[in-house]
């Protein structure tokens, strides 16, 4: 039987790629958004309005699964929106869908929920250090999701997505800036880029989300590469594969944004992902960089 999936945030970097991957896997996909004007193939819904949700349910029918990526103010991690509207909207959306036959809700979270923990990050690890409001909101929505699933006897899954590598849609993203500087042969001033990140390719990220959607119990699951890399090393790798001139990259001339949390050497534990899905990411970082460059060139 064909599975019906709803995807919020389906116009974003990860959401749009997830929609394509779901369709390849044979899902019947409904793209939903709380932003107007919605495209003809996107259903507008106010996440915090039961009437609005019911209107879309009447038109599209209830989904088997929802992937909730639609989260306001993602580039403003200290916005109060994360603890107010975002949390409230997710709670209402999941509750109304569970009431109408939803089998499984999947909230896409973030590695920032671990705070400033170092080393191999396991799903049971409690956060340490200062948490952004964004991370706090995701953690609260995760708690709400587990409570709702227990109430209705359904399944809730929380995916802690680590950094995703691909040709992002936001022009100000790091790799878009690098590509533009390469094309323009212009200097690019950067921070020291001394933080460490676990980068997973966009291809593996969306495939992993679909694999995780097959889990039949409520769980928190990491989704990363299982490896760490210093951002400066990754930037230099990307620049080298482009063929950029070394003197155009200037590290350490900009301050790290104050809202950006400290990112110590850490990476995702994939033990739970492998155990529950029988799958793990397999695209090496070098290949992910090469694919990102190809996609950027195709867009330009």
The whole-number pLDDT of residue 264 equals 80
Nearest to 97 by CA among 140, 139, 67, 137: 67
Strand partners, 106: 67, 157
* E strand residue ranges, 140-257: 155-161, 163-165, 188-189, 196-197, 199-201, 219-223, 229-230, 249-250
In order of start, what are the domains of the chain with their CATH numbers? 4-165+199-225+266-282 (3.40.50.720)
Entry pTM: 0.96
* Interatomic CA distance for residues 12 and 8, integer angstroms: 9
Quick check: 108 and 159 in contact, CB under 8 A? yes
Nearest to 149 by CA among 109, 104, 211: 104
C-alpha dihedral (149, 154, 158, 159), degrees to nearest 10: -170
The whole-number pLDDT of residue 207 equals 98
Nearest to 64 by CA among 157, 150, 134, 171: 157
From first to last of its 300 residues, the chain has per-residue pLDDT tens of: 799 999 999 999 999 999 999 999 999 999 999 987 656 789 999 999 999 999 999 999 999 999 999 999 998 999 999 999 999 999 999 999 999 999 999 999 999 999 999 999 999 999 999 999 999 999 999 999 999 999 999 999 999 999 999 987 666 789 999 999 999 999 999 999 999 999 999 999 999 999 999 999 999 999 999 999 999 999 999 999 999 999 999 999 988 766 566 678 999 999 999 999 999 999 999 999 999 999 999 987
């Amino acid at each position: 039987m064909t599975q019906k999936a709803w995807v919020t945030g389906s116009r974003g970097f990860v959401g749009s790629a997830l929609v394509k991957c779901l369709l390849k896997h044979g899902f019947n996909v409904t793209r939903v958004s709380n932003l107007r004007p919605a495209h003809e193939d996107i259903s507008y819904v106010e996440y915090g309005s039961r009437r609005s949700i019911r209107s879309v349910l009447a038109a599209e029918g209830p989904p088997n699964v929802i992937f909730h990526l639609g989260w306001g103010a993602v580039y403003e991690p200290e916005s109060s929106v994360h603890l107010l509207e975002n949390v409230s909207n997710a709670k209402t959306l999941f509750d109304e869908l569970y009431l109408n036959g939803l089998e499984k809700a999947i909230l896409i979270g973030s590695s920032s929920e671990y705070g400033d923990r170092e080393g191999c990050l396991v799903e049971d690890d409690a956060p340490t250090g200062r948490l952004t409001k964004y991370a706090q909101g995701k953690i609260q929505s995760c708690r709400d999701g587990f409570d709702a699933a227990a109430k209705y006897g359904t399944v809730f899954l929380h995916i802690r997505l680590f950094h995703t590598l691909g040709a992002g849609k936001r022009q100000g993203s790091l790799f878009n800036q690098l590509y533009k500087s390469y094309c323009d042969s212009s200097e690019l001033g950067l921070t020291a880029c001394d933080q460490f990140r676990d980068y997973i390719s966009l291809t593996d990220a969306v495939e992993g989300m679909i694999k995780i959607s097959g889990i039949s119990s409520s769980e928190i699951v990491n989704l990363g590469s299982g490896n760490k890399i210093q951002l400066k090393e990754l930037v230099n790798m990307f620049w080298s594969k482009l063929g950029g001139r070394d003197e155009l990259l200037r590290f350490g001339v900009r301050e790290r944004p104050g809202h950006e949390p400290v990112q110590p050497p850490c990476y995702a534990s994939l033990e739970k992902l492998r155990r529950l899905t029988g799958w793990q990411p397999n695209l090496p970082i070098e290949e992910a960089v090469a694919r990102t460059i190809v996609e950027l060139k195709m867009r330009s």
